[in-house]
Structure 1
Amino acid sequence: MENTPKTDEERHAAKMVKKKKARDKIMETKDGEKGLIIVHTGKGKGKSSSGFGMILRCIAHDMPSAVVQFIKGAWMTGERKLIEENFSEQCQFYAMGEGFTWETQDKSRDIAAAQKGWEKAKELIRDPEIRMVLLDEINIAIRYDYIDINEVVAFLRDEKPAMTHVVLTGRNAKDELIEIADLVTEMAMIKHPFRDGIKAQEGVEF
């Protein structure tokens, strides 16, 4: 009896069956859990947005979380407004920055704000009840040496509770931080409207 030629749908179904078997075999080996060190860096847009997306997931799962904003804490953002007005019991929010260094034009003030933010970050991370801490734009503070990278690495390595996730965002993440991280994503910029004279807009950038 001749084999009836398979339709596109039948070929697709057979292919997916094989793919699912292979995927299931891989997943059988993945049963571990741990608190992750997560880094979002690169010149592209979306680093903070991705971090806040994970914070909202934590809120949805009733997982206590916290945010410490470095650098850009001087102005109100959509994320901050949403969390403070609706989810303050699930997520603590601390806006510790005073703006970018070219705006404050006061290095000692910038350093003091960054150090204050880092002290708050350590306090929150040490609390085992808090499942995720987002350190928004901390990489910029580290880049300018407002916070010592060696201290950050040592703290995350030695003092972070085993099941606490810590997310660090901002351009130019240091190699030392990337080395100890469990998950690193680099956002690449391909096009940006700023180059065409379009300013930062509500709902997109803040």
Structure 2
Amino acid sequence: MTRGRANARDVATTRSPVRRARDAVVDAIVSLSHGTGRQTALQWLSLALIVASALMVWKSLMLFTQSESPVVVVLSGSMEPGLRRGDLLLLDNSRGPSEIGDVVVFNIRGRDVPIVHRILHVHANSPADVGSRLMLTKGDNNFADDGALYAPGQRWLRQDDVVGRAVVFLPHVGRLTILMNDYPWFKYGLISILGFFVVTGKD
């Protein structure tokens, strides 16, 4: 009797990760099928609250940093060795105009993905005249400045092109974002699985 129990325990602990994941999905489906209407409604409400909370945090960050996109991920190696692909940046746009040496995230007209580079030169009629400020940027790991990257006919950036100044960076934290961008099926699969387990999870 003892040996039989030990063997059963050994089998349970040696199941492959794929089989354990499959069993978890089956258990979740059974839980969903046996749940009452009230339980299902509460589970969907839990998912909605998670989404709403995430949106509130994002909007609060936008208000606090005065940046339209307060968190970005470095997508290329143009700022190595200081910043590497997959590093997460927290941006701030509330501390006045950007200066030489600042690492900034900026938009280029006609491009969807912002760029993370360092300010190389600044020209302005006066320090107080933010509207007249013209900036030239460059990647730390690039040989040339960004003049060729700007929109046709644009030689300088203006302050309103800047999304924010990088004030905090977290190494490698954004690698999951890169993985989801490179493989859309992974992103949608991960979101679906997380949502599924939130909805079917037991209290």
Could you state the TM-score of these two structures normalised by the residue count of structure 2?
0.22
Which of 1 and 2 has higher RCO (CA within 8 Å, sep 6+)? 1
Instruction: Tell me which protein shows more strand as a share of its residues.
Output: 2
Structure with larger Rg: 2
